[in-house]
Amino acid sequence: MSEQMQVTRELFDEVMVPNYAPSSIIPVRGKGSRVWDQNDNELIDFAGGIAVNCLGHCHPALVNAVTEQANKIWHLSNVMTNEPALRLAKKLVDATFADQVYFANSGAEANEAALKLARRWALDNYGSDKDQIIAFKQGFHGRTFFTVTVGGQEAYSAGFGPRPGAIDHVDYNDLAAFKALISDKTCAVMIEPLQGEGGLVSPTDEFIKGVRELCTAHNALLIFDEVQTGFGRLGSLYAYMDLGVTPDIMTSAKALGGGFPIGAMLTTKDIAKSLKVGTHGSTYGGNPLACAVGEAVIDVVNTPEVLNGVKEKEAQIRAGFAAINAKYNVFSEVRGKGLLLGAVLNEQYKGRARDFMVASAANGLMALVAGPNIVRFAPSLVIPSEDIVEGLARFEKAVARIVNA
């Protein structure tokens, strides 16, 4: 290999725009659920690249898929289709309610496509008055200007000039408020079937079923943003499958590529009709490399072994949280589902989630936060039991250090 430039964390502040504040640790390689940094310090990965690396690092099936495809053909344009895209689309359609797929490169792009499709569909079928989009406070749908405006944190879309219009927000799990807002002018409702970034909030059964019924009653499209909840994260291939509620449009990304950038929007044939030739597109969407990896991911993840394993690992982590809390009394509750779990800090430690994440890293554990009060874990769906035990032991050390400080 040719001589590479030596780089350090300091270079970040010099050559990167300042929109992120990364840790001082620079990981250089990984294997399964373990990662090593520049100084060969080992970390256990309970972060999974924010719920992305669903099969850990360097999974042989994914390395094989990317290598094999790289040696064949790795980019075309959408002027020609390609085999991996068609195979992945067929597998997604066979596994879900959907009939057709649009490929993008990220969650935000998949959501952007879903929102644009909903507006077109409403225009085609009902005319220009039906343009309202309803979404939920604390929701997160990505960072393009349309998706960030549909997202429920006002601060994220502020400061960029006039926002896209006809977008309204109500509280998650407040069916009465939702019912008061939805009307025949509503074109679509975008919702996460469990709010991820917004604090691991699960929908109540009554709420999610009520949202579906009201969308149907008002001819509004129900869009499930399954970018974080999908692809096995909650223990079923997609979260909707466990909720007994079927959306009209669904988006997928993050774990879909296992760490390779890809996004997908899935819908029925009838709705998809509104995305006629020329209405939307992407240079890289449906890229053969990305789709080859996605295909390898679905082959591994959509199996009873992996999906049932998620439920067992969830129980193991929940037991770990309980044991740590019995000793140190730091959490008020554990939220989430499957391998998207969050410990909510109690009154005494309120606002200090970041401190727990930093202390975890210092003790060899990659963890996440979800807002200022929640320590979030989103490990690989195939993390070995021993790595969970060791990760929890490291987390306990981090907790002890904060409690005894």
Ligand X SMILES: *Cc1c(COP(=O)(O)O)cnc(C)c1O
Point out the residues that are catalytic: 140, 225, 254
List 192, 248, 314, 387, residue binding ligand X (CB under 6 A): 192
The stretch near ligand X (CB under 6 A) out of 59-67, 137-145, 240-248, 358-366 is: 137-145
Nearer to ligand X among residue 263 and residue 288 (C-beta) = 263
253 near ligand X, rule: CB under 6 A = yes
Q: How far is the CB of 111 from ligand X (least distance, A)?
A: 6
Nearer to ligand X among residue 107 and residue 247 (C-beta) = 107
Residue 210, token pair as written in the block = 């009520």
Q: How far is the CB of 132 from ligand X (least distance, A)?
A: 20
The stretch near ligand X (CB under 6 A) out of 192-200, 210-218, 298-306, 318-326 is: 192-200
The closest of 257, 265, 255, 253 to 293, measured between CA atoms, is 257
List 30, 49, 56, 142, residue binding ligand X (CB under 6 A): 142
190 near ligand X, rule: CB under 6 A = no
> Using the 8-state DSSP alphabet, how is residue 93 labeled?
H
141 near ligand X, rule: CB under 6 A = yes
Please state the φ and ψ torsions of residue 138, each to the nearest 5 degrees: 70, 0
List 227, 289, 366, 369, residue binding ligand X (CB under 6 A): 227
Nearer to ligand X among residue 257 and residue 320 (C-beta) = 257
Residue 198, token pair as written in the block = 């917004």
108 near ligand X, rule: CB under 6 A = yes
List 56, 107, 259, 286, residue binding ligand X (CB under 6 A): 107
Report whether 262 contacts 105 (CB < 8 A).
yes
224 near ligand X, rule: CB under 6 A = no
User: What are the respective helix, strand and coil percentages of the chain, to the nearest 5?
Assistant: 40, 20, 40
Nearer to ligand X among residue 203 and residue 364 (C-beta) = 203
The stretch near ligand X (CB under 6 A) out of 13-21, 135-143, 153-161, 180-188 is: 135-143
Distance between CA 39 and CA 41 in Å, rounded?
A: 6
Distance between CA 265 and CA 101 in Å, rounded?
A: 6
Q: How many residues does the chain have?
A: 405
List 140, 172, 321, 356, residue binding ligand X (CB under 6 A): 140
Report whether 226 contacts 252 (CB < 8 A).
yes
Q: Give 128: exposed, middle or buried? Use CB within 10 Å, 0-12, 13-18, 19+.
A: exposed
Edge-to-edge order in the sheet of strand 132-136? 100-104, 263-267, 249-252, 221-225, 186-191, 132-136, 167-170
Nearer to ligand X among residue 38 and residue 144 (C-beta) = 144
Helix axes 83-95, 288-301, angle to 10 degrees: 30
Nearer to ligand X among residue 104 and residue 271 (C-beta) = 104
Q: How far is the CB of 192 from ligand X (least distance, A)?
A: 5
Number of H helices, E strands in the chain: 15, 15
Residue 175, token pair as written in the block = 């069916």
**Considering CB under 6 A, how many residues would be counted as binding ligand X?**
15
Can you say how many angstroms the Cα of residue 163 is from the centroid of all Cα atoms in its chain? 24
Distance between CA 35 and CA 43 in Å, rounded?
A: 5
The closest of 139, 383, 95, 124 to 256, measured between CA atoms, is 95
106 near ligand X, rule: CB under 6 A = yes
197 near ligand X, rule: CB under 6 A = yes
SS3 (DSSP) at 207 = helix
Q: Which residue minimizes CB distance to ligand X?
A: 107
247 near ligand X, rule: CB under 6 A = no
Q: How far is the CB of 245 from ligand X (least distance, A)?
A: 17
Question: Could you please report the per-residue DSSP string of 220-236?
Answer: -EEEEE-TTTTTTTTSS
Nearer to ligand X among residue 149 and residue 363 (C-beta) = 149
Nearer to ligand X among residue 320 and residue 336 (C-beta) = 336
240 near ligand X, rule: CB under 6 A = no
Q: How far is the CB of 310 from ligand X (least distance, A)?
A: 17
- Contacts with ligand X, residue ranges (CB under 6 A): 106-108, 111, 140-142, 192, 196-197, 225, 227-228, 253-254
